[in-house]
Amino acid sequence: MTLIEHDLPTGLAQLALSAAADGGAEVAQFRIARHDSRGISLRDGVVENIGSDSNIALSVRVVVKGAWGFAASTDLSENSARDTVARALAMARLSARVSSDPVVLANEPAHGEQSWVLPIGDDAFAKSDDEVIALLQSWNTRVAQASIVNHVDAHTAMGRDTTFFADLNGNAITQRRDRISAQLTAIHVGENGFEDMRTCAPPAGRGFEYLTGTGWDWDAELAAIPDYLDQKVKSPSVTAGTWDLVIDPTNLWLTIHESIGHATELDRALGYEANYAGTSFATIDKLGNFKYGSPVMNVTGDRIADHGLSTVGFDDEGVAAQQWHLIKDGILTGYQTDRSIAAKVGLERSNGCAFADSATHVPIQRMPNVSLQPSDEDITTQDLISRVDRGIYIVGDKSWSIDMQRYNFQFTGQRFFEIKDGQIVGQLKDVVYQSKTPDFWGSMEAVGGKSTYLLGGALNCGKGQPGQVAPVSHGAPSALFRGINILNGRQEASA
């Protein structure tokens, strides 16, 4: 067990849990969460915003007469803890009047007193503002000196969650995890309008070492950005139609997120997000028999990946972190669950996907790290490109949209390299790829090997009402897709 230095008033847990039990709670969970963040943004090399935020709150979730009740407060006093318990009990009683679907929780062994810390290298919160600004300004200078570049935006963000969870089962779990992200965008403004080119480094569960070369080669990418932008400005507009695609993991992670990650959330499949985020075509009757994609498609869910944004020791219901298959050999084999959702379909145990983005929000089923597994063979991205006569190699994410059952999606990217006869011959622009989830994954002919694998991800995955935001990672190799519908974004606008 790792000792975590923190200032969370965990002593309130006993008071709150006792009060909840005395008030008739069949289940009671107590959380305190502290969220620290830092952000610095530069516009054309000048600091536009620099600041930090530190939020802390407590919450109580109970089940009374088979119904959930949740209340939260940023007041961490004993009186507030008692009041929060009372309000949670009241919400549960109100809800019980109109609930016909009693809450049942899948079993989870008690883990007792635990602490867990995401391993990082260099503490980003210990870095001075001066040091971080100097780094961003050096990036800005390197890119801005190119004549093609008229403007440069750069920013970095750092986050740290320190959480405590306790329940009537005797759990008392303290955890801490860090994350960091940075992006730089170069903009060209010319006679024919404007174009931009952005770095592709994903956010990661790492410390400041990530911005100085561990886990991402910033020097190489920053050096290449002006040339990528120049090529894009001068590139021809894509011809709409059917193309073969080699998709880099810097782009494919987002397609995985939208078309697999959200589609395999069991709460969505059962209708619990129907009013807001939507449902899923991957309904429970398809488990074990639905052909999601080609036989080379193997997808896992996990909360244990190194540097993963969804990696934890225990989820927000005290379930220990796990890894499992969502899709095996192209067949749907699993879902993401929390304890109540798992119980609804008779699963013996949740796979640990309960998450709340702050103590003021109720834990709901959120996405674990969902990753497409690489081939055991040593297949490089160049190997995949060499198999394409006429195609596009897509790098970096940009625009994304998918329908409310996770069928029809449309994505763009940062850089689109045209492939002719197995070779890259230059860039294209205005490329938009659009497909239907099972068709798209069914067209995946090959995946790259481990050397092409990268953990992408996002900090801003939205779900739930009231809305919650979650960080999540998605690993992917490069992959080859045949016969994908390509739209021309410029032509779509003037259709």
Residues 16-75 that bind other proteins (CB under 8 A): 40, 46-57, 67-75
CB 5 within 8 A of CB 119: no
Site for other proteins in 288-307 (CB under 8 A): none
Compute the least distance from the CB of residue 4 to other proteins, in Å: 20
Beta-carbon contacts of 328 under 8 Å, excluding residues fewer than 6 positions away, are 298
76 token code pair: 């961490």
Give yes or no for residue 87 binding other proteins (CB under 8 A).
Answer: yes
Which of 98, 289, 346, 460 touches other proteins (CB under 8 A)? 98
In this structure, which amino acid lies at residue 445?
E
Secondary structure class of 377 (helix, strand, coil): coil
Q: By CB under 8 A, which span of 23-31, 87-95, 291-299, 312-320 interacts with other proteins?
A: 87-95
Q: By CB under 8 A, which span of 22-30, 201-209, 211-219, 465-473 interacts with other proteins?
A: 465-473
Site for other proteins in 161-200 (CB under 8 A): 187, 189, 191, 193-194, 196
CB 365 within 8 A of CB 336: yes
Q: For residue 285, which of 335, 321, 230 has the smallest C-alpha distance?
A: 335
Compute the least distance from the CB of residue 431 to other proteins, in Å: 11
Which of 5, 7, 101, 376 touches other proteins (CB under 8 A)? 101
Q: Which helix (H) or strand (E) holds 246?
A: strand 241-247
Instruction: For Cα atoms 201, 202, 205, give the angle at the middle one, nearest 5 degrees.
Output: 125
Give yes or no for residue 133 binding other proteins (CB under 8 A).
Answer: yes
Q: Which is nearer to other proteins, 321 or 486 (CB)?
A: 486
Which of 17, 364, 385, 395 touches other proteins (CB under 8 A)? 364
374 token code pair: 């690489």
Site string for other proteins, 427-456 (x = CB under 8 A): ---x-x-x-x--------------------
410-414, long-range: CB < 8 A, 24+ apart: 410/434, 410/487, 411/251, 411/254, 411/255, 412/489, 413/251, 414/197, 414/198, 414/200, 414/228, 414/250, 414/251
Q: Which is nearer to other proteins, 26 or 329 (CB)?
A: 26
CB 344 within 8 A of CB 270: yes
Q: For residue 484, which of 235, 295, 240 has the smallest C-alpha distance?
A: 240
Q: Which is nearer to other proteins, 279 or 473 (CB)?
A: 279
Q: Which is nearer to other proteins, 286 or 436 (CB)?
A: 436
Which of 4, 6, 26, 99 touches other proteins (CB under 8 A)? 99
Which of 17, 88, 197, 246 touches other proteins (CB under 8 A)? 88
The Cα–Cα gap between 92 and 62 comes to 7
Give yes or no for residue 466 binding other proteins (CB under 8 A).
Answer: yes
Which of 259, 279, 294, 414 touches other proteins (CB under 8 A)? 279
Q: Which helix (H) or strand (E) holds 30?
A: strand 27-43
Compute the least distance from the CB of residue 472 to other proteins, in Å: 17
Compute the least distance from the CB of residue 234 to other proteins, in Å: 16
Q: By CB under 8 A, which span of 90-98, 112-120, 212-220, 296-304 interacts with other proteins?
A: 90-98
Site for other proteins in 400-419 (CB under 8 A): 400-408, 410, 412
Which of 24, 109, 467, 483 touches other proteins (CB under 8 A)? 467
Site for other proteins in 372-401 (CB under 8 A): 399-401
Site for other proteins in 195-214 (CB under 8 A): 196
CB 315 within 8 A of CB 338: yes
What is the biggest distance separating any 2 CA atoms in the chain, rounded to whole angstroms? 73
Q: Which is nearer to other proteins, 100 or 147 (CB)?
A: 100
Q: For residue 197, which of 155, 236, 225 has the smallest C-alpha distance?
A: 225
Q: Which is nearer to other proteins, 80 or 375 (CB)?
A: 80
Site for other proteins in 219-258 (CB under 8 A): none
Q: Which is nearer to other proteins, 197 or 455 (CB)?
A: 197
The burial of 439, by beta-carbon neighbours within 10 Å (0-12 exposed, 13-18 middle, 19 or more buried), is given as middle
Q: For residue 437, which of 407, 412, 411 has the smallest C-alpha distance?
A: 407
